Structure 1
Amino acid sequence: MTNAMWTYGVEWLAAAAADPRACKRAWDQGHGTALLEAGRFWDVVSVPERLGLLALDLLWRPSLPVPGPTLVDTAAQRVGFFLPPDPHSRWVGAGLRHAGRGSWVAVPPPYRSARFLEWLVPPDGTGVLHGPGPLEHALREANGTLAVLNSPSPDGNSDS
């Protein structure tokens, strides 16, 4: 990413904060994360890390647009996908968490990781987010792949 894209990404992400200037100061001078409210500019769907990494890989297909912002929390072993806010969203699945209006998400600045949080796809400032349809399809496909990989082999052992 270019410096201009980093700047746009910072401004775009900080706009979700109650005080964008304080948010940017926290990123630069504090412990490197800021709590931002979901539900206004974006929601976050968080899934177990293995499922999320596989789904993100599936979203990098040449026929699809570049994936939206994606964050990994290595301590919690979860991947968060930023998508358009939807107050009527019904994201359901084992281990799936939806952060919408009234939820808060800890995020590092787009230009570096902080503690256990790291951007796999940082926001570029254009406002591009994951599309709910392609994300759901990728998660279903990834879940199917993981089910096959985790199924017992004929000798009774799991492949993982």
Structure 2
Amino acid sequence: MHLSSDDVAQIVQEVWTSMLGLDVEPVEVDIDGNVPAVAGSVGVSGATDCLISMEMQEAAAKAVAAAMFGLDGDDISDDDVADAVGELTNMVGGNIKSLLPEPSTLSVPVVAHGRIPTLKVVGGKILMSQAFLSGEHPVLVSVWNRPQRA
């Protein structure tokens, strides 16, 4: 599987613009792992077996939810954050899946709260990872391989 950072950047930019009306740009930045964070992930199974994840600080997730649902910062619930991050992950993951060999299927999104790195694929390795900046908020999109099942 060959998936370029440019392909992923184009997908993330299109999803961010169409769903949120926000700009997002690829950057080289480390995301501080010492703050609350939210991660969304979707699995791809079939000809390619991988996991696509999107991680961001909690403040970024709240900003995404506010933009997606037209809410004021004080009115955003944990469910709003989970719904927004899950939907963005599903849209980005589905578009990445379309670049992978067929046949393949996409799982439903899973959202977790923690500290970056919020999730890790046990036995897997990162095939590509790209940081983005949406306003002042960093977002990390990664594609992990998943170990083959016996």
Same fold (TM over 0.5): no
Larger Rg: 1
1 or 2, which has the higher strand percentage?
A: 2
- TM, length-normalised to structure 1: 0.28
What is the TM-score normalised by the length of structure 2?
Answer: 0.30
Higher RCO structure (Cα 8 Å, ≥6 apart): 2
